[in-house]
């Protein structure tokens, strides 16, 4: 985390410029991915396309840089899979819920974003609503971002939206700071108390990423790949995320497409 208070302004400006460019690359790639995904495609086929696109657009595959090797360029989590889904050989079916979570590395900095969709655009009305509510909770959290705002205020705003629709709020996976490293302080939970926790300052960059499910939020890591996180009761899960810059007067979402 680099912020205005403890770093030379030139370093902060370098960070912001690089993350703006990287965030735009990432946002446009995920926008194109949403159009690319069709029933019958496998996770590994999609992963290969994403890897090619990252390189073609001038960035690097961030997941290749992890200490613990991840078996892909993008996390693909299907139905009851919550996050960190390892790409698989099984074809996606129309109506499947699929969450895509992608980090890229560009000019020395990471950006991170995620979205959830229904394959083929059709599926359970309950899942459609969950996706819409989760996105709304993310934006409610983002709206709290400004210098002096606390992490607890962001989390409380996200949690309020999710709980209003009786969704299971995931508490053991959280958002985070981002910049020179993929995951930095502070942690950004999807729950909290207004006014509590770290106070944001201009120049901070954080990832706000609500995660929830239709049932109970208990989850476990699949021992077959040691990555994929699955909801214990088998209910469908949801995840969305943006990288957000704290500006002088508020915020800027860095991972939006053109």
Secondary structure (DSSP) of 178-198: -SSSSSEEEEE-S---TT-SP
Tokens linked to 207:
């990832």
Per-residue pLDDT reduced to its tens digit, 115-125: 999 999 999 99
How far is CA 107 from its chain centroid?
20
Per-residue pLDDT reduced to its tens digit, 16-56: 999 999 999 999 999 999 999 999 999 999 999 999 999 99
Residues facing 238 on adjacent strands: 212
Give the pLDDT confidence score for residue 4 in this predicted structure: 47
Tell me which H or E stretch contains 29: helix 9-36
Give the pLDDT confidence score for residue 7 in this predicted structure: 58
Give the pLDDT confidence score for residue 2 in this predicted structure: 45
Give the pLDDT confidence score for residue 219 in this predicted structure: 98
- Identify the CATH number of the domain defined by range 4-252: 3.90.230.10
Give the pLDDT confidence score for residue 8 in this predicted structure: 65
Helix (H, G, I), strand (E, B) or coil at 170: coil
Closest CA relative to residue 98, chosen from 122, 79, 83, 114:
79
Taking 50 as the pLDDT cut, the residues of the chain under it are 2, 4-5
Closest CA relative to residue 167, chosen from 178, 175, 159:
159
Domain borders along the chain are 4-252
Cα separation, 230 vs 86, in Å, equals 12
Size of the chain, expressed as the number of residues it contains: 258
Q: Count other C-beta atoms under 10 Å from residue 130's C-beta.
A: 24
Cα separation, 212 vs 147, in Å, equals 27
Cα separation, 138 vs 200, in Å, equals 17
Indicate the DSSP class of residue 121: G
Cα separation, 33 vs 111, in Å, equals 17
Q: What is the pTM of this model?
A: 0.95
């Amino acid at each position: 985390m680099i912020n205005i208070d403890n770093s030379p302004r030139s370093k902060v400006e370098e960070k912001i410029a690089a993350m703006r460019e990287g965030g735009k690359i990432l946002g446009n790639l995920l926008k194109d991915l949403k159009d690319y995904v069709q029933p019958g495609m496998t996770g590994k086929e999609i992963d290969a396309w994403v890897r090619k696109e990252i390189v073609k657009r001038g960035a690097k595959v961030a997941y290749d840089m992890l200490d613990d090797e991840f078996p892909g360029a993008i996390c693909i989590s299907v139905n009851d899979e919550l996050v960190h889904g390892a790409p698989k050989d099984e074809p996606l079916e129309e109506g499947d819920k699929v969450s895509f979570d992608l980090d890229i590395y560009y000019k020395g900095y990471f950006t991170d974003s995620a979205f959830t969709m229904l394959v083929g655009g059709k599926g359970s009305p309950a899942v459609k609503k969950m996706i819409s509510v989760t996105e709304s909770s993310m934006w409610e959290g983002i709206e709290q971002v400004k210098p002096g705002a606390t992490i607890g205020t962001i989390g409380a705003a996200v949690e309020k939206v999710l709980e209003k629709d009786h969704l299971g709020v995931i508490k053991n996976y959280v958002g985070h700071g981002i910049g020179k490293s993929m995951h930095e302080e502070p942690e950004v939970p999807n729950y909290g108390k207004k006014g509590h926790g770290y106070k944001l300052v201009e120049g901070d960059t954080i990832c706000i990423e609500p995660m929830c499910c239709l049932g109970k939020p208990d989850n476990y890591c699949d021992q077959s790949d040691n990555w994929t996180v699955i909801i214990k009761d088998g209910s469908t899960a949801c995840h969305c995320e943006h990288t957000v810059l704290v500006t002088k007067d508020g915020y800027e979402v860095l991972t939006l497409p053109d």
